[in-house]
Amino acid sequence: MAATHVGCGIEGPTLPRRLQTSERHTVAEFRILALGGDGIGPEVLASGLKVARAAARLHAIRLSVSHDLLHGAAWDRWETFCQDETVAAAHAADAVLVGAVGGPAWDDIRVAGGPERQDGLMRLRRELDTFIGLRPAWHWPQLGDHAPIKRELANAADLLILREMCGGIMFAQPRGQTRKDGMRVGFDTAAYNEREVRRFACAGFELARARRSLLVSADKANVLESSKLWREIVSEIGLEYPDVELRHMYADNCAYQMVMNPRQFDVIIGCNLIGDILSDVAGSISGALGLLPSACLGARRCGRFKGIFEPVHGSAPDIAGMGAANPVGMVLSVAMMFEYGMCRRDVAQRIRLATVRAMENGARTPDIGGESATKDVTEAIVSELG
């Protein structure tokens, strides 16, 4: 079998000392709130849970899972994108697993009260204050020529997009639509205060320090005031991390560089909007959006992070219900749940290895050049777990 490269999270530590979760925490029962969401969300979530249960069984970990509706599914039932009860259940759980949210059926629904009311996932991120969005991406040699980027360019690329999740243009007020000079006007506010930038930048430096100590901060400081402040604060924090090489890069150039020369990057930090865009660009390095996992982490309590774990991909309504969705992004998000939410890096590694082996043995959905169904890939991963 070819050398197994599983990228970020398996070679060397992914977590810095201050964020480390090396202590093994044994909780009597790890409680997961599972929110399938919309489109392919419930299908990939079922795969993720199947793998989670199989891995937990092998390590004698007790999981308890409760289900609820989010976003479009919640709207159809209750006419709200995220119920207060769901927020309370998320607070009470040890981790939240999300499939995917959104779809054209709900795009035009207008609800007063900001993004927390307009999007179920945004509400959860904000309510749980999970401000550190980890979105790792690496080149998968297993995909061979199916990868959209030439192998010579992407080979061995392994990067971590860190997206600020709870502030910036996606949340700041004022925002809305109005009329001016007889025309309709839509507006948002791109604002960050120094506390928000500081706590996020610190996480970026810590994570970079635990990897290859290269930090690129992507912004638009050539035009935006909020980016000028962002850059200033990131530079200030950088003085506390002389061992981490800091580069500021305009976000547009960063997107270009990611495609042209992805190997130059280690950790990239960006505001909510820039991080959202760059993490999709990272999908081209991995080979498909369906392979990308993510974790939104908040404060660390008792050694563990409270987190929302979700694949980066959307709800793909065009293939919903066809059993063809790629479960890998979800399964790798489950691995992140074990690592950050439960301090069980050993279980996370096992899941990542099983996923790579299943792929090497031909379990691939159509988006990455295969013919396997979601359930076949899931079963292959479960059987590779051992």
Residue numbers at the binding site for ligand IPM (CB under 6 A) = 101-102, 119, 121-122, 276, 312
Partner that binds at residue 48, options Mg ion, ligand IPM, none, CB closer than 5 to 8 Å by kind? none
Nearest approach, Cβ of 100 to Mg ion (angstroms)?
Answer: 10
Nearest approach, Cβ of 72 to ligand IPM (angstroms)?
Answer: 11
Partner that binds at residue 119, options ligand IPM, Mg ion, none, CB closer than 5 to 8 Å by kind? ligand IPM
Partner that binds at residue 99, options ligand IPM, Mg ion, none, CB closer than 5 to 8 Å by kind? none
Q: 8 or 82: whose CB is closer to ligand IPM?
A: 82
Nearest approach, Cβ of 120 to ligand IPM (angstroms)?
Answer: 9
Q: Tell me the C-alpha distance between 254 and 272, whole Å.
A: 15
What strands, in cross-sheet order, belong to the sheet with 158-164?
63-68, 30-37, 95-100, 304-309, 295-301, 132-138, 158-164, 267-270, 214-219, 245-250
Q: Tell me the C-alpha distance between 383 and 354, whole Å.
A: 8
Q: 308 or 351: whose CB is closer to Mg ion?
A: 308
In our burial notation (b when 16+ CB lie closer than 10 A, e otherwise), range 163-195 reads bbbbbbbbbbeeeeeeeeeeeeeeebebbbeee
Partner that binds at residue 206, options ligand IPM, Mg ion, none, CB closer than 5 to 8 Å by kind? none
By CB under 5 A, is residue 38 in contact with Mg ion? Answer: no
Contact positions with Mg ion (CB under 5 A) in 7-36 = none
Q: 297 or 312: whose CB is closer to ligand IPM?
A: 312
Q: What is the DSSP string of 72-93?
A: HHHHHHHSSSS-HHHHHHHHHS
Nearest approach, Cβ of 166 to ligand IPM (angstroms)?
Answer: 11
Partner that binds at residue 337, options Mg ion, ligand IPM, none, CB closer than 5 to 8 Å by kind? none
Quick one: which of 94, 116, 276, 367 contacts Mg ion (CB under 5 A)? 276
Using DSSP, state whether 148 is helix, strand or coil: coil
Residue owning tokens 């207060």 = 84
Partner that binds at residue 249, options Mg ion, ligand IPM, none, CB closer than 5 to 8 Å by kind? none
Nearest approach, Cβ of 317 to ligand IPM (angstroms)?
Answer: 13
| Stretch of 96-104, 199-207, 218-226, 276-284 contacting Mg ion, by CB under 5 A | 276-284
Q: Which of 197, 196, 198, 202 minimizes the C-alpha distance to 215?
A: 202
| C-alpha dihedral, 18 to 279 to 226 to 102, nearest 10° | -110
Nearest approach, Cβ of 16 to ligand IPM (angstroms)?
Answer: 24
Give the distance from CA 191 to its chain's centroid: 22
Partner that binds at residue 101, options Mg ion, ligand IPM, none, CB closer than 5 to 8 Å by kind? ligand IPM
Euclidean distance between the first and the last CA atom of the chain, given in angstroms as a whole number: 17
Nearest approach, Cβ of 135 to Mg ion (angstroms)?
Answer: 9
Q: 190 or 312: whose CB is closer to Mg ion?
A: 312
Q: 220 or 345: whose CB is closer to ligand IPM?
A: 220
Structure tokens at 199: 């706590």
Q: What is the DSSP string of 291-329?
A: G---EEEEEEETTEEEEEE--SS---GGGTTTT----HH
Q: What is the DSSP letter of 121?
A: H
Partner that binds at residue 159, options Mg ion, ligand IPM, none, CB closer than 5 to 8 Å by kind? none
Structure tokens at 226: 């909020």
Q: Tell me the C-alpha distance between 141 and 163, whole Å.
A: 26
Nearest approach, Cβ of 203 to ligand IPM (angstroms)?
Answer: 18
| Stretch of 101-109, 159-167, 268-276, 328-336 contacting Mg ion, by CB under 5 A | 268-276
Nearest approach, Cβ of 275 to Mg ion (angstroms)?
Answer: 9
Residue owning tokens 């996480």 = 203
List contacts with Mg ion (CB under 5 A).
Answer: 276
